[in-house]
Amino acid sequence: MITLFESTDDDFSTMGMLTLHPTECTVSEEVNGKYELELTEPVNSRGTQLELFPGRIIKAPSPTRESPDIYRPEQGQTSVTYEIWRCSTSTRLYIRDAPNGHKIASLSNGDKVMKIAVDTTTIPGATWFKVTTMDESKTGFVYPNLNGESPYLVNTGTHKTIKSDTDIPSGEGIKFQLAKDQLFRIYSVEKVSEERAVKICANHISYDLLGIVATIGATNIDVSLGQLFQYFKQTGGSSSYQVSHNPGFIFTDYTNGRYKGTWNGANLLNILMDESSGILKQNKAQVIRDNFHIYIVPTADRFVGMNIRYGKNLLSASMKTDISEVITRIYPRGSLSNGNAFTAEEVDSPYINDYGILAKVVKYNYKAAGTTATSADKLAIQQLARKEYSDDKIDIPKYTMNATYIQQELSPEFVNLANKYSLHLHDNVRVYDPSVGIGTKDPRHPNAPIKDFTFTSYKYDVLKGKYTDMTFGDLEDIGK
């Protein structure tokens, strides 16, 4: 269902002003990039086409990765268990732990939810639960009771166990919820007489961050993301760092990252997503946008069991191997206590015979205790150089795929698989064409990881409930 809300509404758990009946509705999203909706509403006797104005908000289903709040153990870790609670009456899910916050969804008497976290700090006498529905399609805050009132939630005494979603045998898929309701604010309205329709473009509600500006504080800052997100909340009083306003956004950092850059005068969207200096760039992180919830999470591979094989569900692919940035010999340098530099013997990559000598002098942030380098000092900077090979893989070529070509040539069978497996941005798929070496081991490096393709952008047909276009970007290492 696609519904329309007034620009100032804060309760999105209702049917809104009216229900739209578009002939076309598409959501497009890119990894750490644009996120928008396009919709065509035909002229009709209900007059819904006359209610589409810039600033108003549309609620529509959109592919949304499961909430990072639902802790999913990594490979080799134990599973996690959550308490299951039942609604004893109809209630609302709030975006944040405050009764004057945005309401994102409704819960009915008898609905069951998983309790994720507890917050007792916002209102004296109130205990807020952060919960998610059993299919993880709705996440938010609700209070089980307030100041002795009848309980809204009752503990069922049962539990749900969440197991690893990364350790999946080849050929099996995770049945995640593909889409859930997201909010989009209209920014463009086009009225087309000859088509008897009104066409709109709308940005995801997270673009409201463009209008929130840092107004008090230093011009430049260097703080943890946890501290920065505290600044994002501060809108008055004697706080040294404040923003113009905050309409209820919740920021959560799962990277333990930092931000070093512009503060006073900058808008929050640029601080978050600027391609050269934003939070995501500095921390090599990804953003998951779920209405007013903004999650900063590490960029991590997740293989969901999908294989694309030439002659079966892949029509054509091209892969490029590039060693122009490969380094196979490092001359490490450090600093003595007097500030002078010292050098240790070169450190070679195990692949130096494959790609030749590609040398670089690297100065490490290492300072010796004395004015003369000891053997221990030299060994220390050599170890730092070896980590460049083992951890950062600077001696491994870059592999890329012609994403546009793949997007045009993807078979219908593959698109069906993507919808079946609920593929989301940043998920990986494995592509094979052994005849040209795509998806196969390099015989010179049998222990090197196979490369996978990362899902980087999509177009989603809201009316049909499925992906229509999919693009895959740079390959990622499975074993990094």
Q: Residue ranges of the chain with pLDDT lower than 70? A: 71-78, 99-100, 119-126, 144-150, 163-178, 300-322, 398-422, 430-452, 472-480
CA distance 163 to 435: 37
pTM beyond cutoff 0.75: no
C-alpha distances out from residue 111 to 106, 127, 368, Å? 10, 19, 63
Predicted pLDDT at 422? 64
For position 179, what pLDDT does the model report? 79
Question: Is-contact 443 379, C-beta < 8 A?
Answer: no
- What's the pLDDT score for residue 212? 93
How far is Cα of residue 441 from the mean position of the Cα atoms in its chain? 30
User: Is 476 in contact with 454 (CB distance < 8 Å)?
Assistant: yes
Query: What are 227's two structure tokens?
Result: 């501290």
Which residues are CB-neighbours of 410 under 8 A, at least 6 positions away? 314, 315, 470
Tokens representing 321? 């191997």
Q: Which amino acid is at 147?
A: N
Residue 169 pLDDT: 34
Structure confidence at residue 206 (pLDDT): 94
Q: Look at residue 231 in the predicted model and tell me its pLDDT.
A: 93
pLDDT of residue 408: 34
- What does the pLDDT read at residue 130? 86
CA distances from 26 to 183, 200, 202, 240, 389 (A): 13, 11, 11, 43, 43
Distance of alpha carbon 96 from alpha carbon 119, whole angstroms: 10
pLDDT on residue 438: 54
- Dihedral of CA 223/224/227/231: which sign? positive
pLDDT at 144: 66
Tokens (6 digits) for 383: 């170890």
